[in-house]
Amino acid sequence: MQTIRKNLRHVSFFLAILMAMTTVWSSAATADVIGTGELLTEQRADVDRESLLSMLEQQEVKDKLADMGVSQDVVEERIQNLTPAELAEFEQQLAQAEVGEGVVGIIVLFLLVFIITDMLCATNIFSFINCIR
């Protein structure tokens, strides 16, 4: 009887350790569930971002940016760093712009984004804009 109890203690101890390790492993291995809305927002942001990047390939936009002294690489980097909400707002403003003012609207919108990020101390493109911090 004594040997059975002694063996049961060892088995119980081993099972308790095994259960603890299994619990820790299973709680670390769980993945978060992504909602449909989040997934659609991310996909829409990617589509908006690609749309803006394709607009940068237009020669008129390139010429206007060069006239203003802003490099295309900086604009592309800024587009990549825009949040989904900013991208959606940007696309909405582009959709509302008239056909003739499309290129000018794009340039003005880029400049506004640059000015806002300069004011928030995120960048320092324009030397005449002071940081608000």
Query: At what angle are helices 36-55 and 84-96 packed, to 10 degrees?
Result: 50
Whole-prediction pTM: 0.45
Residue 52: count other Cβ atoms within 10 Å of its Cβ.
22
Residue pair 128/122 in contact by the 8 Å Cβ criterion: no
Closest to 61 (Cα-Cα) out of 82, 81, 75 = 75
pLDDT computed for residue 27 by the predictor:
59
pLDDT at 104: 67
For residue 1, the model assigns a pLDDT of 65
Work out the end-to-end distance of the chain between its first and last CA atoms, rounded to an integer number of angstroms: 77
Q: What is the mean pLDDT of each run of 10 residues along the chain (133 residues)?
A: 74 79 66 68 79 80 79 81 78 66 69 80 78 76
pLDDT value for 26: 66
CA 48 to chain centre: 12
